[in-house]
Structure 1
């Protein structure tokens, strides 16, 4: 019996300890577990929201990258178009400069040509005058030629004078004096 009393005493003591644990320890542990579960649930929700925000950020990033690539392509195409336009403009300017230089060269060449022609005419005129003077001096150096030249000159003067008298009317010469 003693054993049964001890058994019952142990059982009552065990029940008291379990009751005490149930009354004093279980509620705070449950409260703590509920708080822990709530914290975990909130962390899971925050994690889901973070995943959603991450996914949204990745979509935005991908969109921004695609937009940046598109803009880069547009800028690259514009740069190529600008480069081609600049090359065309430079070619046109170079062609204009070539034409201007060519025209100036032609004008300069024409001026030089005219200058050379003037110089040649002057030299040829001077040489012709010197040659004519030499020929006339050599011709007049001979006495017979000199007499014939003077006579011919006087005859030409008489003819010119006679033609002038015939061309002028008889009364016109008197009224002029």
Structure 2
């Protein structure tokens, strides 16, 4: 047996069973005197501690809800910024494609202009070269005519054995000879 049973058995030895005090049930005066401090503590707790506790919980709830609302607002702002960024990016891509196309068209136009300018310059150079060739040809032909005329006269003098000193006679002979050469050269070109 344990000591509480022994004490309980020792105290109630001489009393009848109905009058034996129950160890588990406190006396009435203990209950009354225990209820008064409990009521005072309950009143203080109800009046001061519970409102302060409730206020702290409300503040915490507001902070949490405010944080959630701020997070949602920040998330919606971030989504709006992302949408705006994507729209600007798409617009920039379209603009870049347009700029590329414009640059390509301008490049092709510049190339075409340069080709046309080069063709014009080529034609001008060829025309100038042809004019220069014609001028040189005429100069060479006139020099050759003079040389050929002198050589023909020298050759004719040698063949004929006489001197063609008469300038009128000499000039007519040269002209006839050159006319014959021109006819031969014209027939050779055809």
Same fold, judged at TM 0.5 (above): yes
Alignment of 1:43-82 (within 5 A): 43-82=67-106
Deviation at 1:111, TM superposition (A): 1.4
Deviation at 1:45, TM superposition (A): 2.0
For each residue in 1:50-109, what CA deviation from the matched residue of structure 2 results, as whole angstroms up to 9, or x when unmatched?
Answer: 222112111111111111111111111111111111111111111112111211221121
For structure 1, the residue ranges without an aligned partner over 5 or more in a row are 141-177
Give the structure, 1 or 2, with the largest relative contact order (CA under 8 Å, sep 6 or more): 2
Structure 2 residue 125 is matched with structure 1 residue 105: no
- 2:34 aligns with 10
Please, what TM-score do these two structures have when normalized by structure 2?
A: 0.65
Deviation at 1:132, TM superposition (A): 4.3
Deviation at 1:124, TM superposition (A): 1.4
Please, what TM-score do these two structures have when normalized by structure 1?
A: 0.69
Q: Distance in 2 between matches of 1:139 and 1:82?
A: 78
- 1:163 aligns with none
Deviation at 1:40, TM superposition (A): 2.2
- 2:110 aligns with 86
Q: Distance in 1 between matches of 2:132 and 2:151?
A: 28
Q: How much is the aligned-residue C-alpha RMSD, in angstroms? A: 2.2
User: Aligned to 1:84, what secondary structure does the other structure show?
Assistant: helix
- 1:175 aligns with none
For structure 2, the residue ranges without an aligned partner over 5 or more in a row are 1-24, 164-190
Q: Distance in 2 between matches of 1:105 and 1:19?
A: 123
- 1:20 aligns with 44
Q: Distance in 1 between matches of 2:28 and 2:93?
A: 88
